[in-house]
Chain A
């Protein structure tokens, strides 16, 4: 019997391969790539997004594809320029949130004892204090701007990741391979980075993606409430101005619909991408997938529990 051909790819190649193989993940990757491209080069093409270019609240036309805002600005230009700021803050905050969470969580889970008690208390307290009200209270006192926004989002967002990673570290800590590494005399730093963290790759990637989705959503929400820098052009402030110019009551749907769709598309793309990462970093899913692919090629029926090949002849 032939063995199913497992992937010989490794490292980045394997990730790209896994994304391309998974339909959901490729769709997610394409969406994210589009928005990143839009954020990078889009603003070069649309000109000044804050300049009044026409009559306020014009519906979409040939001159202004997405119409104009209550101040006569081009909605498309504002959308494109806003993409850059919102994505930059979103990705940066997503990364920092997981970094802080991982440092606290893994330290707590690995060392246990009093360190664990203290750190767990810290993140558990931050976890039960409701995030959005805390964010609003902090943001109300600080000068508005992207830095404040980033700080507020990290302060209110890191605890969840710390908790999940602590639990995961704790369960790995009890496994035999960690005990073996301890007995073999490996240093704590090496055990954490080489033995424990690799088993959590899929979780970490999922967390960065989740934290980015959170960061973009919370950022847009805070800015919508007027807690960001309302003179800047971001997705959130676009919605803030749409609401302030009573878009809903004048029927100017084009001033708030595109921005909301973009936020949702980015979030959706990230979630789709996540499923692809899960497929590659979870060996069980990988094995299952390899078998299914092999069986389908051989014309057999994939069975859910046992890898028994049933030839159709």
Chain B
């Protein structure tokens, strides 16, 4: 078992006829993901190397019984694509798009919540259950099937962590990049709840970064609810105040959201906080002994 995606994923790629959408749709299929359809308004009837393209998500979902959507649509149109996917009845939306205005996400998030549809991202690398399904832009070959759950606000840093885990001999049950925006579709706690219940996940690696209070909230939740070990690293210990460090959400504002505060909260919750990003793999090794 695993969380979010796996052998029963039936994927539609929104924006499949664009350069990025096509490239990654094919990479997901090559990894073994069941890519059943694509959607680009106005390009219905075409196909992308055998993947049928539809004008609307409603058609794509109805014809192929799709349950998951992966979005590569520019920021101005992504909110529409997200709501279209949810309205068409998919259970999980993974939105890769970077740069959606925060105020555009506010009503979209409220809609998804009311509709009971899960979204991962935006501005994220996606989610992968190694050996089963890859729904995102991460390099599949870096990952190995195993029993460690990974949750991260970052992209390449997640690959680095997964690489270290594999070097230490640990595969992953599922690795999720929740994205670097201020309003993510899925937060740490959402993922932790699922990992807590997943019999195939023995421990969790949580990679946070400066900005907001998501890590502090996760720490509180873990202390009260999770009896699996958690190893955590917070990026941005050297980040200056008031500067947005690449990600829209990675900013220390009003003196809040520093790495030091987050690390302290995690430590208090009994989580193994790693100070050096080079020590994540070896720390998991120590904790799992």
The answer on A and B forming one complex is no
Query: Which residues of B come within 8 Å of A, CB atoms?
Result: none
Query: Which residues of A come within 8 Å of B, CB atoms?
Result: none
